[in-house]
């Protein structure tokens, strides 16, 4: 069975990649260790070239992603269900883009030191987290390659996977991941 997503669902599927790979106990850990943060409209959450100390899950609102090399031109808009700061958490290098709140927005902020400690002490969590990041970043790379025009096709082929198509292995986890994201939202609203 193949699933195709709308633009809003495509944004949401980013968090589903991650939550679909994690165990319920991992999601509970993220909720417990994470800090709810409101980001005012116009505030910079991530500054290109400046180290960050957190991973962010966008709970609601909208962010603009810009690049200095392109005269601060917007290259993407990020909404609920997206992850920010993941590359810097993985490779410890400063972010390669600036992320600014287009609207007042809310994120779940997970401190990098807490996350790294959990990754070093809990091998099961580490394996699930790194697998989730690999799937997530692979999807992002495929999207980037698609934008650059590689592999463009004018018609759908039965046996070919497309950028907006959910891999059947991931599709099995989407319902569970969606429920996990709803749990995060409920817990954060109850505060």
98 in Cβ contact with 46 (< 8 Å)? yes
- Give the neighbor-by-neighbor strand order of the sheet with 73-79: 44-46, 98-101, 62-67, 73-79
Domains of the chain, with CATH numbers?
A: 7-190 (2.60.120.10)
Give pLDDT, residue 39.
98
Per-residue confidence of the chain (191 residues) as pLDDT tens digits? Answer: 333 333 444 445 567 778 888 999 999 999 999 999 999 999 999 999 999 999 999 999 999 999 988 899 998 898 988 889 988 888 889 999 999 999 999 999 999 999 999 999 999 999 999 998 888 888 778 777 776 666 555 444 445 554 455 555 555 666 677 777 788 878 887 86
Rg (CA), the chain: 17
Cα torsion 175, 34, 55, 29: sign: negative
40 in Cβ contact with 110 (< 8 Å)? no
Give pLDDT, residue 91.
87
Phi first, then psi: give them for residue 48, nearest 5 degrees.
Answer: -50, 130
**Model pTM above 0.85:** no
Both structure tokens of 40: 């005012």
DSSP line for 137-164 = HHHHHHHHHHHTTTT--SS--TT---TT
Cα 74 → chain centroid: 18
How far apart are the C-alpha atoms of 77 and 99, rounded to whole Å? Answer: 9
Give pLDDT, residue 104.
97
Give pLDDT, residue 9.
45
Give pLDDT, residue 4.
38
In Å, how far are 25, 78, 94, 98, 112 from 50, measured between CA atoms?
A: 32, 20, 5, 9, 15
Give pLDDT, residue 123.
96
């Amino acid at each position: 069975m193949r699933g195709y997503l709308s633009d809003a669902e495509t944004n949401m599927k980013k968090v589903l990649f991650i939550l679909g790979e994690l165990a319920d106990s991992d999601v509970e850990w993220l909720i417990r260790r994470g800090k709810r943060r409101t980001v005012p409209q116009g505030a910079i959450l991530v500054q290109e070239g400046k180290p960050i100390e957190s991973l962010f899950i966008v709970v609601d609102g909208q962010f603009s992603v810009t690049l200095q090399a392109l005269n601060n031109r917007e290259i993407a808009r990020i909404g609920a269900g997206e992850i920010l700061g993941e590359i810097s958490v993985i490779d410890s290098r400063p972010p390669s883009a600036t992320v600014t709140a287009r609207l007042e927005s809310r994120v779940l902020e997970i401190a990098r030191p807490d996350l790294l400690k959990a990754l070093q002490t809990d091998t099961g969590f580490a394996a699930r987290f790194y697998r989730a990041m690999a799937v997530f970043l692979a999807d992002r790379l495929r999207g980037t390659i698609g934008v650059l025009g590689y592999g463009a096709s004018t018609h759908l082929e039965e046996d070919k996977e497309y950028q907006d198509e959910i891999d059947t292995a991931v599709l099995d986890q989407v319902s569970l991941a969606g429920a996990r994201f709803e749990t995060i939202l409920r817990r954060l609203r109850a505060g």
